[in-house]
Structure 1
C-alpha cells in the first residue's frame, strides 16, 4: 500500500479516496532510461499489469489523472510525457505528438503485457492517436479527450502563455499558488495547492520552479525584445497540427472521442471526427477541457466500460 507522508507525492491519495468512498490501491513511481539518456517516468496504480494507460495534456502531469484512476479501480499506467512531471526535458524542444509517441511506445513495450485501453487528453490525445497508428498491436481501444487534429486551441493556450510568461521561479509554493489564483486558474485554494505541488519542484537554492518545460519556453518566447532567448517562435505551445487525422484514420483500434461541452471541441468538431472516422463514437460530457479533473467520475465510468468490454 501507499505510505502517505507530508512530503510524499502520494500524500493526497488517502483523502481523495475517502471523499470518493473507494480504497487506495497500491501506487508506485516507475522510471525507464531511454536510449538517448533521458528518463521517462510514470505512476503505476494497482498490483497487476496495467490494462489502461493514461496520457495527460500540455503543461500537466500524470497526477492530473489521480481522481480518475482512483475511481477506475483498474490496474493503470499514468505516464509523464517528455518535458512534464518527472520525465526529462527534450534538448531539441520537440514536443510534437509523433515524437512523444515514440517514448510512449517504449513505455508500453516495457511496462505492459497486453494491448491497452489508451486514453489521452488534449496533447496526450494526439499522442495516443500516433501510438495507435504506429503500433496497433499495443492498443486495444483509443479514447481521445477534448481534442481533434488541427483544432484551434489558441484561446486556451494564450491565457496560459500569459500566465507562464511571468517569473519561472518563486520564493515559495504559496507565492506560486497566489499567482495562479490571481489568473483564475484552479478551483479552490486547496485544489490549486495540490496542482502546484505536483507541477513544481524545489531547486537546490530553495527557489520553487515549474516542472514542465513549456512554462520555461513560454517565458523565453515572450521575453522583451533584445532579451536573450533560446526558444524558437511558437516553442511555448505544443504542435497540434492536422497530421493527426492520418493517425486517427490509420488506427485499427475502436476510437471514442470525449467532447467536453465547455471545452475546446465543438459539436461541429465532433461531426468532423465522424465524417473523417465514421466508425468512431463521440460522447459529450458536461465538463471543461480537463475532463479528468472536472468530470472524473463520468470519464472513469466510460473508460471502465471499455476496459470491461470483450476484446
Structure 2
C-alpha cells in the first residue's frame, strides 16, 4: 500500500514565487481557540499588519489563495472557514454564511486592527457579505468572486456530488488525484497533486481523508450546505440578498467568464445592488487558481483606492 509522506504545507510556495518572479513573503499558520471549544485556523502572509482577508469557497481551504497571495504581495490573512482546512468542524453542520461570518469576525478582532479588504469566493463571498453587513467596522471593501445569492449553478453540483460520493477515506493521495482528474477537476497533474495534498490528511491508520467536513456528510447534507448547489435552501438565498442590501462598504462582483455566474446573473446582481461594480475575468469558478495574477491586480487596485 502506498503511504503518503507529509511535508511542510509551505513547501510549494518557493517554486510558485519563483515562477511568478516575486519574493517569497513570511508566512505562518495561526490558530484561534473559540469559547465553544472549536478553533479557527488561518495563514498570515507578510510581517506587517494584514490589509486583506481572503475567504475560500466550499470544499476548499486557505491554500487555494496561495498563488493569488504571492502575486498580490500584500500582508494578509487567508482564513480556513469552519469545517474546512485546519479549522474545526461544526457538530450542528451549520455552514451557512451568517454562521461562518461570526467565526471570521472573531478572527479579525483577534488578528487585525484595521478594516480589511475582504475577498470571498463562492461560499466565502456570501460569508463576506454577511460579515460586512453585521460588522461594518471590519470591512473597508468587499470583493465577491463568482457567486450571487440564489444562483443557478446546475453545471457544478452534479460533478461535485460525484466527486465526493462513495468512501470518505482512501489508500493514497494518488487515488484521489486520479479521481479528481477523471472528473475534470484541477489542471495539470502536478497542480492537482498539490491541491489534493493541501486538502487532505493522513490518519494514524495510514488512510487518507479530506480535511473538509462536506466530503464526510451524506449527499443531501452536502447539497443543503453548499451554495454551489442548485438545491441549496431558499433561506440561504434570501439572507444573502438581505446581507448585501445592508453592506455600506464598496462592493465588487468578479464574474468568471467560464464559472457559475452567467451574464444574466451578473445583470440581476447589478440591478439589486446598483452601487456595486461588476468585473468579468477569463477564468473558471475558482478564479483564485485559474486567473490569480488578474485577481491579485484587482484586489491591489481596491486596496490602493482605499488608501491601504
Give the TM-score range, shorter chain: over 0.9
Does residue 304 (structure 1) correspond to residue 300 (structure 2)? The answer is yes
- Secondary structure at the counterpart of residue 238 of structure 2: coil
Q: Please, which runs of 5 or more residues in structure 1 have no aligned partner?
A: 223-231
CA contact (8 A) 1:221 1:236 kept: no
Q: What is the TM-score with the length of structure 1 in the denominator?
A: 0.92
Q: Which residue of 1 aligns with 2:269?
A: 273
Distance in 2 between residues matched to 1:206 and 1:274, nearest whole Å:
49
Q: Secondary structure at the match of 1:241?
A: helix
Q: Distance in 1 between matches of 2:242 and 2:226?
A: 21
Q: Secondary structure at the match of 1:201?
A: strand
TM-fit CA distance, 1:237: 3.0
Alpha-carbon shift at residue 235 of structure 1 (Å): 4.2
**Residue-by-residue CA offset, 1:162-200 (whole Å, 9 max, x unaligned):** 110122111111111111112121111100000000110
Alignment RMSD, CA only? 1.5
SS of the equivalent of 1:242 reads: helix
- Find the counterpart in structure 2 of residue 75 from structure 1: 75
Structure 1 equivalent of residue 127 of structure 2: 127
Partner of 2:226: 237
What residue is the counterpart of 1:226 in the other structure? none
Alignment of 1:114 with 2:114, yes or no, is: yes
1:277-296 aligned at under 5 Å gives the runs 277-296=273-292
CA deviations 1:224-256 (Å, max 9, x no partner) are: xxxxxxxx5844634552321111111010000
Aligned 8 A contact 1:52 1:119 in 2: yes
Q: Which runs of 5+ in 2 are unaligned?
A: none
The C-alpha deviation readout for 1:126-156, integer Å capped at 9, x for no partner, is: 0000000000010000000000111122331
How far apart, in 1, do the equivalents of 2:134 and 2:279 lie?
A: 25
1:93 and 1:235 in contact (8 A); partners too: no
- The question of 1:199 aligning with 2:199 is answered yes
The answer on whether the counterparts of 2:96 and 2:225 sit within 8 Å (CA) in structure 1 is no
Residue 147, structure 1, aligned to residue 147, structure 2: yes
**SS of residue in 2 equivalent to 1:283:** strand
Partner of 1:254: 250
- The structural deviation recorded for 1:306 is 0.8
TM-score after normalising by structure 2: 0.93
Q: CA contact under 8 A between 2:84 and 2:213: conserved in structure 1? A: yes
**Residue equivalent to 2:28:** 28
Contact 1:46/1:74 (8 A) holds in 2: yes
Per the alignment, do residues 272 and 235 of structure 1 end up closer, same or farther by CA in structure 2, a change over 3 Å counting? closer
> Given the superposition, is the C-alpha separation of residues 235 and 280 from structure 1 closer, same or farther in structure 2, using an over 3 Å criterion?
closer
| 1:105 aligned residue | 105
- Does structure 1 residue 87 correspond to structure 2 residue 87? yes
> 1:164–1:215: 8 Å Cα contact kept in structure 2?
yes
| Residue 121 (structure 1) shift | 0.2
- CA contact under 8 A between 1:177 and 1:192: conserved in structure 2? yes
Distance 1:23 1:77 in 2: 18
Match of 1:182 in 2: 182
